[in-house]
Structure 1
Amino acid sequence: MKPAKAGDLKARVLSALVLAPVVLGAVWIGGWVFHALLAFGSVIAVSEWTNIVPSARRLPSRLMAAIGILVALMAHIAAGPATALGAAAAFAVLTAIVGGGSDRGLLGFGVFYVAIGMAGLMWLRDLPDTGLSLFMFVLIAIWATDIGAYAAGRSIGGPKLAPRISPKKTWAGLIGGMVSSALFGWLVAIAFGAARPDIAVVVGAIVAVVGQAGDLFESAVKRRYNVKDSGQLIPGHGGILDRIDGLLAAAPVLALFHAAVGTGLSWW
């Protein structure tokens, strides 16, 4: 693995210092401020997807996908996640039809893919009383996964996790990410007074695996079309999709766990 260039590292750090307070501030405030940030990020993310996956009519497909995400967002606010995903599915089909091309199915799937992640993130943050803490749990768990995987992968190395998809990822990195996510998930649970921090350790490790799967999924799509980054919006980091691929996968899984099992376990 090649070391990061000094200029790239500086750009990454500066971008993080600028964006982190904005994101965390919107998450902390919640409500329409958070919804606006989520809408902005979702539209850019789905636009990047339509830029990665080729189509016969790129601009019309991009407009349809962006409209679909906004409609799904409004449907979520008005009627909940099930209605939002139904709207996203309909616009996924419309985007595929409008965009055309040999990979129209994958093109349209991007609308549903981003909408699932958006629904998970919005559902978590909008929960009364526990919304902020659960959102911070998944956010910090994914950040910890990336840091732990990077550190373990560089220092330990070893067998590759998925060499054809992401040659730099290793099994040691995955384990390091799981340990880091479990540790920070436990700390977040303690900080917010969760009832069962021990369960948060297990959930944190699972979130790491799901987040890495989301990362690998986006990597596989980019590799299929020989694309390095989903976009250039964030200096040193690439596009929005490159930064939230893990969250898009992990947020709905955590939301499903909390709704179906977590409430019964009284873990939070």
Structure 2
Amino acid sequence: MTTAPTSRAGRNLPAAIGVGVGLGAMLILVLAYVPDVWYVVVSVAIAVATWEVGKRMRDGGFDIALIPLLLGGQAIIWSSWPWGVEGAFVAFAVTVLVMMVWKLFAQGLAEAPTHYVRDLSLSILVLAWLPMLAMFAADMVRQSDGNFRVFTMVIVVVCSDVGGYAAGVLFGKHPMAPAISPKKSWEGLVGSLVVGTVGAVCCSLFLLGTAWWVGVALGPLMVIVATVGDLVESQVKRDLGIKDMGSLLPGHGGIMDRLDSLLPSSLVSWGILTLLV
């Protein structure tokens, strides 16, 4: 029996390519024809990713406040629809208060909670890491030419991934952070910076209709935060002793394994494009 070809990262390449193409086609259709549905896409993706992360952390012995996280995450994203970023921050603060009370009485009134500070702090971290950062990607679609702004964010991250993978495979000899992600190399980072910046410049000129230098400002910064986002999730998975957060996407892992670079990039792209475009 033959096995499916795998990448250097041990992935099933045909499955990974097929899933990637499918997700890309869905993204194009939504943003081109029904951009308001982008809110639904983001909210569903974050709900699934929060469930994946919560389950993995609970399996690892951390009792995070999963139900408030799921409900509060949705409140953060959807509050930005009528009230913008301010509404999302209010929803974030309210969710933190709810989690404080939830964890305080998680074991009943007669018994003191165990690991209260640890589990509450981790719950707040997940809330800020997933729904709060994802809110910027959702809110961006409401801006002028918002669908093109979201396209720009996704295209630059994809260019960063492709450039980093190609340069790493062809030239990678010097590990960048071997203790966290052994496959990443400094040559790969250079490839990400070159291809990601070219992608950002092209998006600035042809999608956003703005100056080329906006892409020069956007591209390198997005590549750096996307790379850091990938490393952060890699370290979290290393702490938990797992390879993937989930198994929903063949060849990719879970939803969270596809969002690790996009989440911090959404904040940077929202900020840069709001300021410069």
TM-score calculated relative to the size of structure 1: 0.87
After TM superposition, give the deviation of residue 172 of structure 1 in Å.
Answer: 1.1
Q: Which residue in the other structure is 2:190 paired with?
A: 175
SS in 2 for 1:186: helix
Match of 2:250 among 226, 235, 258: 235
Q: Which residue in the other structure is 1:68 paired with?
A: 72
Match of 1:117 among 123, 133, 140: 133
SS in 2 for 1:64: helix
Q: Which residue in the other structure is 1:197 paired with?
A: 212
1:1-268 counterparts in 2 under 5 A? 3=8, 8-54=12-58, 57=63, 61-92=65-96, 94-95=98-99, 97-98=102-103, 102=115, 103-104=118-119, 105-128=121-144, 130-192=145-207, 194-259=209-274, 261-262=275-276, 268=277
Identity of aligned residues (%): 24
- CA distance in 2 between partners of 1:151 and 1:197 (Å): 25
After TM superposition, give the deviation of residue 56 of structure 1 in Å.
Answer: 5.7
Contact 1:94 1:108 in 2 (8 A): no
SS in 2 for 1:158: coil
Q: Which residue in the other structure is 2:109 paired with?
A: none
- CA distance in 2 between partners of 1:95 and 1:232 (Å): 28
Structure 1, unpaired ranges of 5+: 263-267
TM-score calculated relative to the size of structure 2: 0.85
Contact 1:92 1:109 in 2 (8 A): no
After TM superposition, give the deviation of residue 256 of structure 1 in Å.
Answer: 1.8
- CA distance in 1 between partners of 2:36 and 2:154 (Å): 19
Contact 2:226 2:264 in 1 (8 A): yes
SS in 2 for 1:53: helix
Note closer, same or farther for the CA distance 1:56–1:200 as it changes in structure 2 (3 Å cut): closer
- CA distance in 1 between partners of 2:93 and 2:260 (Å): 19
Contact 1:53 1:106 in 2 (8 A): no
Residue by residue, what CA displacement relative to the aligned partner does 1:92-132 show, whole Å, maximum 9, x if unpaired? 4544653776441123311121122222101221102x212
After TM superposition, give the deviation of residue 2 of structure 1 in Å.
Answer: 6.5
Note closer, same or farther for the CA distance 1:73–1:202 as it changes in structure 2 (3 Å cut): closer
**Number of aligned residue pairs:** 258
SS in 1 for 2:260: helix
SS in 2 for 1:169: strand
After TM superposition, give the deviation of residue 246 of structure 1 in Å.
Answer: 0.9
